């Protein structure tokens, strides 16, 4: 999947980021359009105008893709799924969701919302291209025609049943609706997606060998589909093993907590050194968890100089996402970005007092153990609850 992206805007409360790859793609497409496409379409265009037109086309395309992603985001929100971020990267956009649809109907509406926007955009540009008067400057009509064409092409590609493309999500939603089970539907859709990905790689490679450089592009898309489909299938397996398993079943307990008013020096000499644990819950006067203090965190966040006097309450990671109840579903816990970032969470009782710590290592160990037992075997309480 794409590397780290940086934020460029916040629209309707949803952060929009661009991956460094996106910049490369903007440059590459501007070059391809400015160098060969527009000089061919607009006779006698100057190189400067051609490249400017190329850049304008790519940026307009960027807005169309953003509109597509917002189509998904608005529908997701209506169904109570939070969109964490919209990322623009190599192949277009990705909406990072927190959680998944709970009904195949929701998934279907979510999957179709993006392509519906793209279809609308393509139709608008198509209609504009047809309705533009003959006196329109050729540069403008070329720009409009290109948008109609490229949005149409994206629509077709996007609706291929190649999970995780939108068409593949539609396929999954339909399979899910028919069988009533999401996981097998995800696995089937991911296999079909992988098949499509391999076909695209093969076709792209053949095209490239036959002298068409854009074949490389098709192969690259195929490659990402194969990778992403594999990740989705893996995610479905993890979900299968861990949903219905509660945090209390995998946590390490009992746990030793550090009072928030302890200084860093006290925490080190009374807790970190004698116990040699990598992390401790931090508690307020009433014993309720307020955060997590780990060796890594303290090493990177403690100020230099008078560091030892700093209160632990100020140094701890106080992201509320890192505090979970004993009944937290482990599959849901894995979806928390804070848990992925820190690798640990504090497990608390009904009164908010720490009763254990759960780490990624605990979860991975459990996964390996469940895999030993084969499909669904040995899941203990999880199997009953799931």
C-beta closer to Zn ion: residue 14 or 129: 14
Stretch that binds Zn ion, among 75-83, 134-142, 159-167, 224-232 (CB under 5 A): 159-167
Q: Which of 224, 222, 229, 238 is nearest to 171 (CA)?
A: 229
Closest approach of Cβ 323 to Zn ion, in Å?
A: 34
String of contacts with Zn ion for each residue 202-241, x by CB under 5 A: ----------------------------------------
Stretch that binds Zn ion, among 41-49, 109-117, 254-262, 333-341 (CB under 5 A): 109-117
CA torsion, ordered 297, 300, 305, 308, to nearest 10 deg = 10
User: From CA 69, how far away is CA 18, in angstroms rounded?
Assistant: 13
258: which strand partners? 282
Closest approach of Cβ 321 to Zn ion, in Å?
A: 27
| 87, 107, 166, 239: residue in contact with Zn ion (rule CB under 5 A) | 166
C-beta closer to Zn ion: residue 117 or 298: 117
Residue partners of 372: CB distance under 8 A and separation at least 6: 378
Does residue 87 touch Zn ion according to CB under 5 A? no
Task: Collapse the DSSP code of 248 into the 3-class scheme (helix H, G, I; strand E, B; otherwise coil) and give the result.
Answer: helix
182: which strand partners? none
# chain residues binding Zn ion, by CB under 5 A: 2
Q: How many CA atoms lie within 13 A of 196 on its CB side?
A: 23
C-beta closer to Zn ion: residue 66 or 260: 66
User: From CA 171, how far away is CA 136, in angstroms rounded?
Assistant: 42
C-beta closer to Zn ion: residue 165 or 241: 165
In the set 69, 107, 239, 249, the catalytic residue is: 69
Q: Which of 231, 166, 161 is nearest to 196 (CA)?
A: 161
Stretch that binds Zn ion, among 100-108, 162-170, 208-216, 337-345 (CB under 5 A): 162-170
C-beta closer to Zn ion: residue 104 or 168: 168
Stretch that binds Zn ion, among 107-115, 263-271, 288-296, 345-353 (CB under 5 A): 107-115
Closest approach of Cβ 166 to Zn ion, in Å?
A: 4
CA dihedral over 24, 26, 27, 28, signed as positive or negative: positive
How many helices and strands, by DSSP H and E, does the chain display?
Answer: 17, 10
Task: Return phi, psi of residue 250, to 5°.
Answer: -110, -5
C-beta closer to Zn ion: residue 232 or 359: 232
Closest approach of Cβ 44 to Zn ion, in Å?
A: 38
Active site residue 285: no
Q: Which of 300, 302, 320 is nearest to 310 (CA)?
A: 302
Q: Which of 66, 153, 162, 185 is nearest to 114 (CA)?
A: 66
Q: Which of 328, 357, 363 is nearest to 344 (CA)?
A: 357
Closest approach of Cβ 251 to Zn ion, in Å?
A: 37
User: From CA 226, how far away is CA 232, in angstroms rounded?
Assistant: 10
Length of the chain: 386
Q: What does the DSSP assignment read for 335-360? A: T-HHHHHHSEEEEE-TTS-EEEEEEH
Does residue 114 touch Zn ion according to CB under 5 A? yes
Stretch that binds Zn ion, among 147-155, 164-172, 178-186, 277-285 (CB under 5 A): 164-172
Tokens of 12: 């309707």
Cβ atoms of 257 and 272 closer than 8 Å: no
Stretch that binds Zn ion, among 108-116, 211-219, 276-284, 363-371 (CB under 5 A): 108-116
Tokens of 308: 């030892």
Closest approach of Cβ 96 to Zn ion, in Å?
A: 13
User: From CA 35, how far away is CA 74, in angstroms rounded?
Assistant: 38
Closest approach of Cβ 122 to Zn ion, in Å?
A: 14
Closest approach of Cβ 95 to Zn ion, in Å?
A: 7
C-beta closer to Zn ion: residue 25 or 363: 25
C-beta closer to Zn ion: residue 114 or 291: 114
Return the active site residues: 69
Q: Which stretches of the chain bind Zn ion, using CB under 5 A?
A: 114, 166
């Amino acid at each position: 999947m794409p590397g780290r992206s940086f934020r460029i805007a916040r629209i309707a409360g949803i952060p929009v980021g661009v991956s460094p790859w996106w910049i490369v793609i903007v440059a590459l497409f501007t070059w391809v359009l400015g160098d060969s496409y527009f000089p061919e379409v607009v006779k006698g265009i100057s190189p400067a105008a051609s490249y400017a037109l190329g850049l304008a086309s790519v940026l307009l395309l960027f807005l169309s893709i953003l509109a597509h992603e917002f189509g998904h985001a608005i529908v997701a929100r209506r169904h109570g799924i939070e969109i964490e971020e919209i990322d623009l990267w190599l192949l277009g956009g990705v909406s990072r969701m927190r959680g998944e649809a709970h009904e195949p109907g929701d998934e279907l509406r979510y999957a179709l919302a993006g392509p519906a926007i793209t279809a609308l955009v393509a139709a608008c540009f198509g209609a504009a291209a047809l309705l533009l008067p003959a006196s329109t400057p050729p540069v403008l009509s070329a720009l409009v025609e290109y948008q109609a064409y490229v949005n149409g092409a994206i629509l077709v590609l996007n609706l291929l049943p190649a999970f995780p493309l939108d068409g593949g999500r539609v396929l999954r939603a339909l399979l899910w609706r028919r069988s009533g089970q999401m996981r097998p539907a995800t696995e089937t859709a991911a296999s079909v997606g992988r098949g499509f990905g391999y076909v695209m790689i093969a076709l792209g490679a053949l095209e490239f060998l036959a002298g068409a450089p854009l074949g490389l592009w098709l192969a690259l898309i195929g490659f990402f589909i194969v990778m992403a489909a594999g990740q989705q299938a893996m995610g479905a397996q993890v979900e299968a093993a861990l949903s219905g398993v509660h945090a209390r079943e995998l946590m390490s307990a009992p746990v030793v907590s550090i009072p928030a008013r302890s200084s860093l020096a006290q925490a080190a000499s009374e807790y970190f050194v004698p116990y040699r644990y990598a992390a401790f819950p931090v508690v307020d006067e009433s014993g309720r968890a307020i955060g997590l203090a780990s060796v890594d965190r303290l090493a990177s966040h403690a100020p230099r100089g008078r560091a030892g006097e700093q209160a632990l309450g100020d140094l701890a990671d106080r992201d509320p996402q890192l505090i979970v109840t004993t009944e937290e579903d482990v599959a849901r816990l894995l979806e928390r970005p804070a848990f992925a970032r820190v690798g640990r969470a504090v497990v608390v009782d009904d009164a908010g007092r720490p009763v254990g710590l759960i780490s990624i290592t605990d979860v991975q160990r459990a996964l390996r153990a469940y895999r030993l037992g084969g499909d669904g075997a040995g899941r203990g309480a999880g199997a009953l609850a799931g």
